[in-house]
């Protein structure tokens, strides 16, 4: 589905949508063009067809990795949308990141250490890797933490891997944190935001190169509306509704 940015669409057929090729994010163009250039050198310059053709095909995969499709973001004050495309691999009660619990230098309080629901979304190399804001508000903190590059699908990746913690606060004081986590293949977290920026729900906030994970920490008293093993779409899938708690069961089939 393709719609122009800013278009209003609804569940009664209002708006205009059609399929279209997704654009490539500028961050990925240099990688794609570089891969094509190397492939052509091998194919035409060196005349190694058996290697050059597969490399040229792989170059298309590089462009596909950095695709940046438009998304239709559900509008609702209490809705929390998925910050990433991928598979929900972990849902559990854990304390928020320690780096976001401490007060800021200006005295702004951090998150409570009380456990909250964390939803972990694993992004394979086949998923869109543009990350989006789960709610609208002000970026209060962006904390980068160097670390390891173990499998992002493992629970310990939240504490051991290279990662970036982001805290968003609504005008009414509701705060939501999410963490961009590098993985086995991912080696670079690219932020599009900084503290003080005001973002809308579903707005692009960064990307992680080549396979990774995003953790979302829901406010206290809020349960996940997605299920373990569910595929979610960044900027479109509703992860939760603030203040709503309910057991939701699903059957794999």
| Active-site amino acid positions | 212
Tokens of 89: 């691999």
CB 141 within 8 A of CB 167: yes
CA separation, residue 188 to residues 24, 182, 208, 252 (Å): 18, 7, 6, 34
CB 223 within 8 A of CB 93: no
């Amino acid at each position: 589905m393709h719609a122009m940015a800013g278009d209003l669409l609804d569940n009664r057929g209002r708006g205009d949508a059609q399929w279209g090729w997704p654009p490539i994010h500028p961050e990925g163009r240099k990688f794609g063009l570089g891969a094509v250039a190397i492939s052509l050198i091998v194919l035409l310059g060196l005349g190694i067809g058996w290697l050059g053709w597969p490399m040229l095909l792989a170059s298309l995969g590089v462009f596909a990795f950095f695709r940046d499709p438009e998304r239709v973001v559900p509008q609702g004050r209490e809705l929390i949308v998925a910050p990433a495309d991928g598979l929900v691999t972990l849902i559990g009660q854990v304390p928020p990141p320690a780096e976001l619990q401490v007060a800021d230098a200006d005295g702004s309080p951090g998150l409570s250490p009380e456990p909250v629901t964390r939803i972990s979304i694993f992004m394979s190399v086949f998923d869109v890797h543009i990350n989006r804001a789960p709610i609208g508000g002000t970026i209060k903190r962006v904390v980068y933490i160097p670390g390891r590059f173990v499998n992002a699908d493992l629970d310990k990746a939240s504490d051991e891997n290279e990662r970036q913690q982001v805290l968003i606060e609504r005008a009414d004081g509701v705060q939501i944190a999410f963490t961009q986590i590098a993985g086995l293949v991912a080696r670079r977290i690219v932020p599009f935001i900084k503290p003080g920026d005001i973002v809308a729900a579903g707005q692009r906030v960064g990307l992680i190169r080549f396979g990774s994970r995003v953790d979302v920490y829901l406010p206290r008293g809020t349960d996940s509306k997605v299920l373990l093993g569910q595929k979610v779409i960044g900027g479109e899938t509703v992860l939760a509704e603030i203040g709503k708690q309910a057991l939701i069961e699903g059957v794999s089939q």
